[in-house]
Amino acid sequence: MIQAEGVAAVTDESFGGEVLEAGLPVLVEFTADWCPPCRQLAPVLSAVAAETAGRLKVVQLDVDTNPGTTNRYGVLAMPTLLVFRDGEPVASMVGARPRRRLLQELEDVL
């Protein structure tokens, strides 16, 4: 998996504790090694994680090694970004995007 700097990786096993039970809103990137737009998004996620520290948790989930969570949320395209609040998905975005656009899309959940 292309690991974004400063962004934790979650798995099917850790998803509940790290995402669903988190005290902050959580941005989850569903990603894969074979996905070029995911590589483009990695530095954007790192920047967003740094800018929103304390207000938003940012994590990545590798779809190839974590099919349970991927299937549970019906993720079909990479990268898919889901925002969870209080254990529920509250926003969904598909595809790579620039940092400024992603921050604008996250304003409602921050």
Kindly report the length of the chain: 110
Q: Catalytic residue among 38, 47, 81, 83, which?
A: 38
Answer whether the bond into residue 79 is a cis peptide, omega within 30°.
Answer: yes
**36 is annotated as an active-site residue:** no
Distances (CA, A) of 66 to 43, 58, 106: 22, 17, 25
Nearest CA to 81 among 13, 42, 30? Answer: 30
Q: Tell me how far the alpha carbon of residue 3 is from its chain's centroid.
A: 12
**35 is annotated as an active-site residue:** yes
Q: Catalytic residue among 10, 19, 26, 35, which?
A: 35
Catalytic amino acids?
Answer: 35, 38
